[in-house]
Amino acid sequence: MAPTPYSRPGVGYCTPAAQAEIAERPSAAGGASAGNTRNVTLSVNGEQHRLALEPNAILLDVLREELGLFGTKKGCDHGQCGACTVHVNGRSVNACLMLACMQEGAEITTIEGLARSAGYEQGQHPIQEAFLEHDAYQCGYCTAGQMMTAAAVLNDRAVAADAASVNDAMSGNICRCGAYKNIREAIETARQRMQGES
Partner 1 sequence: MRQFELESVEKVDQAVASQRDQRRDAFVAGGTTLLDLVKLDVMTPERMVDVTHLPLKRIEKLDDGRLKVGALVTNNELAHHELVKRDYAVLSEALLAGASTGLRNLATTAGNVMQRTRCPYYRDPAMPCNRREPGSGCAALDGINRNHAVLGTSNRCIATHPSDMCVGMVAVGATIVVEGPQGSREIPFEDYHLLPGDTPEKEHDLKDGELITHVILDAPRAGGQHYLKLRDRASYEFALASCAAIVELDGDSVASARLALGGVATKPWRAEAAEKALIGQPATRENFERAAEVALADAVAYSHNGYKITLGKQAIVRALRDATARTTATAA
Ligand X SMILES: Cc1cc2nc3c(=O)[nH]c(=O)nc-3n(C[C@H](O)[C@H](O)[C@H](O)COP(=O)(O)OP(=O)(O)OC[C@H]3O[C@@H](n4cnc5c(N)ncnc54)[C@H](O)[C@@H]3O)c2cc1C
Residue 140 partner contact from ligand FES, ligand X, partner 1, none using kind-dependent CB cut-offs of 5 to 8 Å? ligand FES
In angstroms, the CA 32 to CA 134 distance is: 50
Q: Count the residues in the chain.
A: 198
The rounded Cα 181 to chain-centroid distance in angstroms is: 22
User: Binder to partner 1 among 108, 118, 144, 153 (CB under 8 A)?
Assistant: 153
82 contacts partner 1 (rule: CB under 8 A): yes
Closest by CA position to 66, among listed 108, 24, 25: 108
In the complex, minimum distance from the CB of residue 94 to ligand X, in angstroms, rounded to a whole number: 8
User: For partner 1, which is the closer residue by CB, 93 or 108?
Assistant: 93
User: Binder to ligand FES among 76, 106, 159, 194 (CB under 6 A)?
Assistant: 76
> Hey, what's the torsion of the CAs at 57, 61, 64, 67, to 10 degrees?
0
Give the angle subtended at the CA of 95 by the CAs of 82 and 125, to the nearest 5°: 70
Chain positions 64 to 83 lying near ligand X, rule: CB under 6 A, are: 79-80
Which residues contact ligand FES by CB under 6 A? Answer: 74-77, 79-84, 94, 96, 137-143, 175-177, 179
Which residues contact ligand X by CB under 6 A? Answer: 79-80
